[in-house]
């Protein structure tokens, strides 16, 4: 990905895979949820080889990403769209009347600024991408310039055309239609090749303009008002990680390529639009927002959100955005502390380079817990009730400002370079602000989850490697797991122990960020920098120590080769272990068990979650133990946050404890978040409670986002036989597959 050469006479692109023809209902949804974008400024690279086969990254074809299911016609006829006459220039059609819930945007990725060619890699692995250069100044972009067909009406058809531009900088571009072809690629994309004009002068910069409409793009999540907290206005957000933004706008959808970008968004009155950008302005009389990101970022970090959002300042360079009904809670939870975390991170790793650090709280339909979009972290609102999880999740995203956003893994095969380093930095920040004991408790909780996932997958699972081999056609999203976070963290922690002083290692990471900021790196860059910074360690050949070789850390399956010393957290973890032993090690002491309820009411959230996770690991439990647990804890746990309640309810479900099923029902009736519903439905359908799960689902499905509804339908449909099928359910349950990339959450009791 990310290579472009004029000598080949063509431009290679990828596209989101084709979908079935829309039904009338989906067509209506298309009209309501259309998103327009325009992208320019792809540069010719004269040093590239004159070969039809351009450079590859991750065994993928060189590409700009393009949503094929919404392909317009470029100089010829295509279904539902009329092409321009041969040789004709672009036509500008007046916009049709805008539906009330429409956003129109023009987005220009200035691909190549800041992109760095990764270091050489072993001969048996794919080469890095060739550096790209920007094509010059930004191209003026206006809303309504391009209006593709919406409902197929002849009056509103617009001949979208990619155009080769070879004009003087600053002049109005003159476009011409270009020929294209599409070919099969993977289940999450098809290739699109655009032929460049042969008369284009060699080595001259040019631009390619792509006009398109995206309707059912997986990166773009449209919410009806009833799926928001306020129930007042529709809501839309994007989620680009790992490779979804190829359906949001045309881009080199690989972390090896970074760029600045500009965007113009027109929204209905009363709708607040935000993007992950360093600068923004709003022209109220036109309803137009202008955004610009001045630092190069990979495509997956371009993000947009729009809805009924209000701001509140929580620090000198931070504010929270949330729906009005949530704003007081969000403000009270984070006021003042975000600046403490940013200041601690700056003391450790150097200046914060993104200007503002704002946070937007999204409705429960947000598919993950948090996303580190630069300048504008996305966080699911559901986490607001779980104070300690909120603290850790926000600090983790703060750490990504240095590790992941500024310095990015060049390939999805090495996601640990972002997640492992960010997790290490997160724990250094929490140690600075909350002490070592709290950090060790949270680390013990996460490492427990890592070993739980290891037991599920097996120690020889290839995804347990830090350098995962990404086979051709495999969606990188399928590689997201705890190993990238916790095994990556353990390796970084091991490196810090080699130098013998955490402060010296902080100094190294600070120098590493300064050297590689706004570029993409591979593991060898980090390790070479480490050995150069500590020449005494290089002389000792620490990279080749038997059993702890750097190469083994990267490419061996199984658990971490070494884990951190967590003894500083023993004051918090020892009571958890003692209580767990009380309930599981031998004959139950009822008096001591009853007294323990008062103890856990004073515990930290991570202590209670760790205790319940260890009970979950031992399920099924003896019936008398479950009965006593319920008698001691169920009422108390009802008053705790959702992170605690879901763990107790999973114990209830895995032990078929019917007296507490009403609590499971009440929880599922109140929760519409993926992270709190999917684990319970998976557990319900694994045991003897599938009919109960079906009943609850039919009563609550109207409140779920369509994507989550499809996921749960898929869970419920597995193993559904005639004896368990309620009337009329097969068509509903079996009609659609769960979205690609869904990761099973069963037995992996973590929130992020």
Tokens of 541: 């050949």
- For 24-34, what is each residue's pLDDT tens digit? 222 222 222 22
**Residues recognised as catalytic:** 397, 485
pLDDT score, position 350? 98
Query: 418: number of CA atoms within 13 Å, CB side?
Result: 29
User: Which stretches of 246-353 are DSSP H helices?
Assistant: 327-334, 337-349
Choose between 595 and 617: higher pLDDT: 617
Quote the CA–CA distance of 450 and 750 in Å, as a whole number: 9
- For 8-21, what is each residue's pLDDT tens digit? 344 444 444 433 33
Contact indicator for 65, 253 with CB cutoff of 8 Å: yes
Contact indicator for 251, 208 with CB cutoff of 8 Å: no
pLDDT score, position 643? 97
Contact indicator for 567, 441 with CB cutoff of 8 Å: no
Quote the CA–CA distance of 93 and 78 in Å, as a whole number: 18
Quote the CA–CA distance of 104 and 212 in Å, as a whole number: 11
Q: Tokens 């617009």 sit at which residue? A: 158
- Conformational region of residue 170, where left means phi above 0, alpha means psi within -120 to 50, and beta covers everything else: left
Quote the CA–CA distance of 185 and 175 in Å, as a whole number: 28
pLDDT score, position 192? 65
Domain extents in the chain: 6-308, 309-397, 402-565, 573-734
- For 627-674, what is each residue's pLDDT tens digit? 999 999 999 999 999 999 999 999 999 999 999 999 999 999 999 999
**pTM score:** 0.81
pLDDT score, position 306? 96
Quote the CA–CA distance of 55 and 471 in Å, as a whole number: 17
Contacts of 140 (CB under 8 A, 6+ apart): 172
Q: Is 44 annotated as a binding residue?
A: no
pLDDT score, position 544? 98
Instruction: Return the CATH architecture of domain 6-308.
Output: Sandwich (2.60)
pLDDT, mean of residues 694-703: 95
Quote the CA–CA distance of 265 and 282 in Å, as a whole number: 9
pLDDT score, position 195? 78
* pLDDT confidence tier of residue 253, bands split at 50, 70 and 90: confident
pLDDT score, position 454? 96
Across 207-221, b (16+ Cβ under 10 Å) vs e yields bbbbbbbbbbbbbbb
Pick the CATH number of 309-397 from 3.90.640.10, 2.60.120.1440, 3.30.2010.30, 3.50.50.60: 3.30.2010.30
Rounded to an integer, what is the distance from CA 567 to the centroid of its chain?
A: 33
Q: What is the largest CA-CA distance in the chain?
A: 89
| pLDDT of residue 295 exceeding 90 | yes
- For 547-573, what is each residue's pLDDT tens digit? 999 999 999 999 999 999 999 999 999
Mean pLDDT, the chain, integer: 77
- For 128-158, what is each residue's pLDDT tens digit? 322 333 332 233 322 222 222 222 222 222 2
| pLDDT of residue 741 exceeding 60 | no
- For 83-138, what is each residue's pLDDT tens digit? 233 333 333 333 333 333 456 666 766 644 445 544 443 333 333 322 333 332 23
Q: Is 396 annotated as a binding residue?
A: yes
Handedness of CA 169, 175, 176, 178 (dihedral sign): positive
Worst-scoring range by mean pLDDT, 69-73, 326-330, 412-416, 482-486? Answer: 69-73
Contacts of 402 (CB under 8 A, 6+ apart): 345, 349, 350, 422, 425, 509, 513
Quote the CA–CA distance of 726 and 500 in Å, as a whole number: 64
Strands (E), 144-219: 163-165, 180-186, 189-195, 207-214
Q: Tokens 């097996």 sit at which residue? A: 458
Would you tell me how many other CB atoms lie within 10 Å of the CB of residue 501?
A: 10
Q: What percent of the chain has pLDDT over 90?
A: 59
pLDDT, mean of residues 509-516: 99
Contact indicator for 608, 643 with CB cutoff of 8 Å: no
How far is the CA of 167 from the CAs of 92, 175, 201, 340, in angstroms?
19, 10, 12, 49
* pLDDT confidence tier of residue 581, bands split at 50, 70 and 90: very high
Tokens of 62: 């060189």
Quote the CA–CA distance of 255 and 104 in Å, as a whole number: 26
- Please confirm whether the linkage preceding 242 is cis (ω < 30° from 0): yes
Pick the CATH number of 573-734 from 2.60.110.10, 1.25.40.320, 3.40.50.11060, 3.40.640.10: 1.25.40.320
Q: Where does 402-565 sit in CATH, by number?
A: 1.10.390.10
* pLDDT confidence tier of residue 367, bands split at 50, 70 and 90: very high
Nearest-CA neighbor of 330 among 374, 285, 360? 360
């Amino acid at each position: 990905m990310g290579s472009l050469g004029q000598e080949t006479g063509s431009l290679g692109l990828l596209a989101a895979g084709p979908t079935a023809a829309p039904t009338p209902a989906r067509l209506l949804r298309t009209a309501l949820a259309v998103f327009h974008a325009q992208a320019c400024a792809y540069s010719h690279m004269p040093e590239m080889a004159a070969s039809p086969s351009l450079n590859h990254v991750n065994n993928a074809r060189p590409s700009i990403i393009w949503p094929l299911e919404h392909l317009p016609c470029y100089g010829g006829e295509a279904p539902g769209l009329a092409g321009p006459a041969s040789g004709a220039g672009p036509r500008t059609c007046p916009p049709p009347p805008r539906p009330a819930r429409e956003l129109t945007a023009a987005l220009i990725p200035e691909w190549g600024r800041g992109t760095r060619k990764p270091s050489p890699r072993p001969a048996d692995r794919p080469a890095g991408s060739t550096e790209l250069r920007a094509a010059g100044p930004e191209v003026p972009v206006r809303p309504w310039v391009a209006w593709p067909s919406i409902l197929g009406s002849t009056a509103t058809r617009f001949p979208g055309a990619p155009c080769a531009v070879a004009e003087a900088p600053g002049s109005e571009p003159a476009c011409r239609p270009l020929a294209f072809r599409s070919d099969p690629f993977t289940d999450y994309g098809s290739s699109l090749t655009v032929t460049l004009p042969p008369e284009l002068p060699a080595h001259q910069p040019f631009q390619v303009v792509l006009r398109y409409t995206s309707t059912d793009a997986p990166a773009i999540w449209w919410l009806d008002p009833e799926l928001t907290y306020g129930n007042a206005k529709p809501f839309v957000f994007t989620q680009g990680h790992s490779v979804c933004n190829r359906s949001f706008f045309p881009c080199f959808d690989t972390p090896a390529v970074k760029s600045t970008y500009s965007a113009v968004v027109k929204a209905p009155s009363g709708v607040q639009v935000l993007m992950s950008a360093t600068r923004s302005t709003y022209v109220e009389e036109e309803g137009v927002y202008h955004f610009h990101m001045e630092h190069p970022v990979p495509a997956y970090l371009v993000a947009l959100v729009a809805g009924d959002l209000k701001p509140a300042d929580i620090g000198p360079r931070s504010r929270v955005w949330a729906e009005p009904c949530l704003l007081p809670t969000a403000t009270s939870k984070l006021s003042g502390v975000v600046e403490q975390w940013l200041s601690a991170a700056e003391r450790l790793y150097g200046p914060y380079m993104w200007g503002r650090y704002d946070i937007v709280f999204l409705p429960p339909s947000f598919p993950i817990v948090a996303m580190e979009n630069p300048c504008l972290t996305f966080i699911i609102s559901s986490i607001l009730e779980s104070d300690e999880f909120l603290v850790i999740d926000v600090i983790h995203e703060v750490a990504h400002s240095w590790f992941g956003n500024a310095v990015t893994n060049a390939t999805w095969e090495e996601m640990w370079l972002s997640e492992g380093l960010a997790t290490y930095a997160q724990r250094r920040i929490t140690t600075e602000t909350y002490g070592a004991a709290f950090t060790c408790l949270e680390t013990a909780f996460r490492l427990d989850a890592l070993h739980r996932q290891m037991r599920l997958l097996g120690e020889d699972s290839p995804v347990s490697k830090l350098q995962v081999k990404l086979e051709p056609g495999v969606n990188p999203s399928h590689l997201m797991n705890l190993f990238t976070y916790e095994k990556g963290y353990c390796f970084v922690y091991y490196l810090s122990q080699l130098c013998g002083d955490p402060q010296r290692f902080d100094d190294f990471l600070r120098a590493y960020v300064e050297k590689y900021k706004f570029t993409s790196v591979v593991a060898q860059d980090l390790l070479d920098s480490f050995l150069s910074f500590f020449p005494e360690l290089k002389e000792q050949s620490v990279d080749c120590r038997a059993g702890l070789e750097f190469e083994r850390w990267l490419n061996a399956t199984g658990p971490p080769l070494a884990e951190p010393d967590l003894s500083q957290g023993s004051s918090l973890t020892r009571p958890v272990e003692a209580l767990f032993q009380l309930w599981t090690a031998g004959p139950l002491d009822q008096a001591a068990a009853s007294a323990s309820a008062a103890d856990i009411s004073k515990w930290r959230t991570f202590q209670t979650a760790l205790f319940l996770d260890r009970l979950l690991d031992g399920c099924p439990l003896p019936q008398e133990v479950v009965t006593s647990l319920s008698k001691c804890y169920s009422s108390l746990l009802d008053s705790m946050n959702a992170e605690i309640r879901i763990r107790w309810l999973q114990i209830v479900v895995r032990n078929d404890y019917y007296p507490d099923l009403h609590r499971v029902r009440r929880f599922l009736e109140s929760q519409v978040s993926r992270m709190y519903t999917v684990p319970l439905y998976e557990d319900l359908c694994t045991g003897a409670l599938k009919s109960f799960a079906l009943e609850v689902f039919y009563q609550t499905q109207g409140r779920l986002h369509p994507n989550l509804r499809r996921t749960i339908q898929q869970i419920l449909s597995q193993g559904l036989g005639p004896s368990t099928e309620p009337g009329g359910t097969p068509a509903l349950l079996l009609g659609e597959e769960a979205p690609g990339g869904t990761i099973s959450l069963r037995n992996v009791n973590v929130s992020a």
